[in-house]
Amino acid sequence: MTTTATLTGFQPTGHLHLGNLLGAVRPVVAAQRRTRPVTFVADLHAMTMPHDPGELRQLTLEVATLLLAAGVDPDRSLFYLQSQVPEHTELHYLLECATRYGEAHRMIQFKERGRGRSTRLSLLTYPVLMAADILLHDTAEVPVGDDQRQHVELARDVATRFNTHYGQTFVVPRAVKPEVAARVMDLSDPSAKMSKSRGAAGTLFVLDPPEVIERKVMRAVTDSGDTVSYEPDARPGVANLLEILAGCAGGSPAALASGFTSYGALKRAAAEAVVATVRPVQARFTELSRDPGYVRRVLADGAERAREVTADTVHRARKAVGLIA
Ligand code: AMP
């Protein structure tokens, strides 16, 4: 059994944003120099909430194209579309048979996102699909933020139970702190993570035109102070701008702070750095978008290569539970 260093899924539930770029795409691109990370567009995960089929199709292609434009290299990454690798759903079912209802029901995200809606059953079982994503690739360590830690714990419990009942089948994964904890916060509400689903005013999308980026950054929420200092707890808005600047232009947020005497100057520098970071990605995206057939071929090829690994894992699991001799 091999172990992979990085496994990252991108849900096509909206447009990719700066948080995705700095917090997830960049680590994948860095990991490509040392290992062969697994990078997939998690289209099945995008179906746990009400969705529009046409939009899902369009966003899936957009996210895949953007990942390639941002440096995911299909020769150095195992890059594919989750739904094109049927082992994800097959293992999902096998793992459901080793998961207790109460375990899934306890997940905080289910409680938060399922509240007051006509909840899809897949929202309850999605952490089991995530467990399948992880276990399929014999992933030993999963770098995750606090919000996903509970799901990795579930994957760990289910893998351990499966191994105990049916014999050693899966590598038991461990949640680890990401090496560089780039976490980009929402510009309008710096207490919340920048995300695809929050209001567009606080989210910098990778495909936003320069003037939109400038406008959003200039309107970012700061505080009533008038000096620039890096104090994430006391001054989260200013700290976020400094982190964004550091993430895009280099340097440390604390050291950068001393170079500014006003919020306006900091915002202008941050906006400029974001524009400089996304510009080449946007240019490459435009190029790649001229030939969607190319992106589809890359994904199909990636799925085929992924199946060389995932088919083996599912074979082990099927054998262990008694489906095949
Ligand atoms: P998602 O947007 O949920 O599909 O997440 C795709 C990847 O981006 C995951 O690895 C997330 O941890 C990462 N990510 C999402 N939002 C942020 C953010 N605001 N800051 C840093 N990383 C993020």
- Alpha carbons 190 and 221: distance in angstroms, whole number: 7
- Alpha carbons 217 and 31: distance in angstroms, whole number: 30
List all residues whose CB is within 6 A of at least one atom of ligand 1.
8, 10-11, 19-20, 23-24, 145, 182-184, 193-196
Residue of the CA atom closest to atom 9 of ligand 1: 24
Which numbered atom of ligand 1 lies nearest the CA of 186? 19
The string of pLDDT tens digits covering residues 165-176 is 999 999 999 988
Out of 13, 20, 51, mutate this one to test ligand 1's pocket (max ligand atoms within 8 Å of CB): namely 20
The string of pLDDT tens digits covering residues 288-312 is 999 999 999 999 999 999 999 999 9
Calculate how far, in angstroms, residue 20's C-alpha sits from the geometric centre of ligand 1: 5
Question: Is the pTM value of this prediction over 0.75?
Answer: yes
Calculate how far, in angstroms, residue 146's C-alpha sits from the geometric centre of ligand 1: 12
Which numbered atom of ligand 1 lies nearest the CA of 11? 4
Please provide the DSSP assignment of 246-304 as one string.
Answer: HHHH-S-HHHHHTT-SSHHHHHHHHHHHHHHHHHHHHHHHHHHHT-HHHHHHHHHHHHH
Decide: helix, strand or coil at residue 240: helix
Which numbered atom of ligand 1 lies nearest the CA of 42? 4
Structural domains in the chain, CATH included, are 4-176+290-321 (3.40.50.620), 200-286 (1.10.240.10)
DSSP category for residue 214: H
Find the range with the poorest average confidence among 176-185, 229-238, 269-278.
176-185
The string of pLDDT tens digits covering residues 27-64 is 899 999 998 999 999 999 999 999 999 999 999 999 99
Calculate how far, in angstroms, residue 8's C-alpha sits from the geometric centre of ligand 1: 9
Burial tier of 244 (Cβ tally within 10 Å: 0-12, 13-18, 19+): buried
The string of pLDDT tens digits covering residues 176-223 is 877 655 789 999 999 999 998 877 899 999 999 999 999 999 999 999
Q: How many helices (DSSP H) and strands (DSSP E) are in the chain?
A: 13, 5
Calculate how far, in angstroms, residue 247's C-alpha sits from the geometric centre of ligand 1: 15
- Alpha carbons 189 and 159: distance in angstroms, whole number: 38
